[in-house]
Structure 1
Amino acid sequence: MQTKTVLLLGANSDVAKAAILQYNALGYRVLAASRSTDALHDFVAAKVMQKEWVDVLYFDATDFNSHAAFYAALPEKPHVVVYAAGFLQHNEAALRDFAGALQMMQVHYAGAVSILNIVAMDTQNTRLERIVGLSSLSGVRGRRSNFIYGSTKAAFTQYLAGLRQYLFSRKVTVNVIVAGYIRSKMTAGLGLPESLMLEPAFIARAVVRPAHRFTIVPGFKWKLIYTALKWMPEQLVARLP
């Protein structure tokens, strides 16, 4: 049986690290790409069982000019591509400091479009089966507490929706993981409700074993919240924090 290859972009996130372990256990070759290559090497050395099946690569989501060369230099073209790069600046700070807002736009949207366009246009890679993007419930409706971060995730989700249709004739499936609160280094210290926190490994299972449908919301509570947010009247959304 042919070993399948997954390209994991933004591989130093907590969810991505959990996905590395799960892909590795399933026998995938993992191309783990991140700016934080030292941290990834340490993680692989300490946690990964089949280390010979994990390659650590340097990838900067915001260095758009490097993306074509990065993709061309991959040791092999992937069957699966996962975009999990993330950056968070608090809304009030992003309102006052455009550099932080721009960083979120570049990491969550512009960087994703740049590299995934290259992946999608490589028609010679006939092995490509699936593209998975890690998005957020923050992108479902605009809320005053996080609308800048949420807008970048909303844009990413809509891009993936169109990409799914674009790749349909090539039988490439595109999924978006619309995640709620994840216990991670990015959310540490935010004081989020403990009853709603999800573990990175739980989200990673949805990434590694996605359903065929486009939108995947891990966790029963978050499915209810997603549905409520999607259909809630605007006058009620305006009262949310």
Structure 2
Amino acid sequence: MNQNTGKTVLILGANSDVAKQCIRQYVQNGFSVIAASRNTKSLEDFTILNNLAAPQVTIMYFDAADFDSHPQFYAALPVKPHIVIYAAGYLVDNRKAMMDFKGARQMMEVNYMGGVSILNLVATDQSNSNLERIVGLSSLSGVRGRKSNFVYGSTKAAFTQYLAGLRQELASRSVVVNALVIGYIRTKINEGLELNESLMMEPEYVAGFIVNAGNSFTIVPNFKWKIIYHILRLLPESLAAKLP
């Protein structure tokens, strides 16, 4: 239902499957969306396919790992956002990340460093009286180090901790910061991986938790993943070491 909010959402890394569904749902709820990504062509195709034309959606080029470009990008925004979502993500196989640091570094730059770079600009812009919420997409992989994905998981763990501190920093301005801690999603980034089908979530389902985020810091979509999240947090090290 269109609520005619007149508010603007900035989605960084907007070409992900979840982010695209956020675009659609936010527009349906009456928001304007600034969709930012390196792949602007894919975003243009998506907006045309879903009849999400301007002025509902503005598409901008954004490279999460090009830190020097972030101040210019932020200054060029057509309007200061009410809500900012950091959805940029990158994943390589853990063995590859260990053998070739280029893959590990790219995960660090996109999953963590890029988020810190651009969100620091957002958070320290005292002139933006519009800002109400920042949502960062994290992962269950960052809850506990595991043999199969600890390099990727470390980038998500660092990002979650950054968001936790940012939430405290912005509390005095009544800006809510949420960390969406996500399990398996049927998306491009997970194609080819052998994942438990019963735990897979659809991008549209996950996007709903972002669009309808409340005041809690940690948001874990799906009750099965909530259970797994709490088990991972509380599992003794002797048992955690036996996880794949």
| Shorter-chain TM-score range | over 0.9
| Alignment match of 1:175 (pick from 161, 174, 178) | 178
Equivalent-residue separation in structure 2 for 1:219 and 1:43 (angstroms): 26
Deviation per CA, 1:160-201: give whole Å up to 9, x if none: 000000000000000000000000011011010100000001
Equivalenced residues, count: 241
Alignment of 1:19-34 (within 5 A): 19-34=22-37
Letter in 1 for 2:56: W
Quote how far apart the aligned CAs of 1:154 are.
0.2
Letter in 2 for 1:155: A
Find out whether 1:47 has 2:50 as its counterpart: yes
Quote how far apart the aligned CAs of 1:52 are.
2.8
Equivalent-residue separation in structure 2 for 1:172 and 1:52 (angstroms): 26
Partner of 2:164: 161
Equivalent-residue separation in structure 1 for 2:7 and 2:113 (angstroms): 28
Letter in 1 for 2:216: R
Q: TM-score if structure 1 supplies the norm length? A: 0.98
Find out whether 1:214 has 2:217 as its counterpart: yes
Given that residues 109 and 156 in structure 1 are in contact (C-alpha distance below 8 angstroms), is that contact kept between their aligned partners in structure 2?
yes
Equivalent-residue separation in structure 1 for 2:23 and 2:54 (angstroms): 11
Alignment of 1:86-165 (within 5 A): 86-165=89-168
SS in 1 for 2:60: strand
Equivalent-residue separation in structure 2 for 1:183 and 1:214 (angstroms): 24
Equivalent-residue separation in structure 2 for 1:50 and 1:216 (angstroms): 31
Find out whether 1:227 has 2:230 as its counterpart: yes
Change (3 A) 1:193 1:114: same
Quote how far apart the aligned CAs of 1:49 are.
4.1
| Alignment match of 2:187 (pick from 179, 184, 187) | 184
Unaligned runs of 5+ in 1: none
| Alignment match of 1:240 (pick from 222, 240, 243) | 243
Find out whether 1:16 has 2:19 as its counterpart: yes
Equivalent-residue separation in structure 2 for 1:51 and 1:62 (angstroms): 27
Equivalent-residue separation in structure 2 for 1:3 and 1:211 (angstroms): 19
* Aligned-residue identity in percent: 61
Given that residues 47 and 53 in structure 2 are in contact (C-alpha distance below 8 angstroms), is that contact kept between their aligned partners in structure 1?
no
RMSD between aligned alpha carbons? 0.9
Given that residues 5 and 29 in structure 2 are in contact (C-alpha distance below 8 angstroms), is that contact kept between their aligned partners in structure 1?
no
Change (3 A) 1:2 1:202: closer
Unaligned runs of 5+ in 2: none
Q: TM-score if structure 2 supplies the norm length? A: 0.97
Deviation per CA, 1:43-81: give whole Å up to 9, x if none: 101014454310010000000000001000000000000
SS in 2 for 1:167: helix
Given that residues 180 and 210 in structure 2 are in contact (C-alpha distance below 8 angstroms), is that contact kept between their aligned partners in structure 1?
yes
Quote how far apart the aligned CAs of 1:14 are.
0.3
Given that residues 44 and 51 in structure 1 are in contact (C-alpha distance below 8 angstroms), is that contact kept between their aligned partners in structure 2?
no
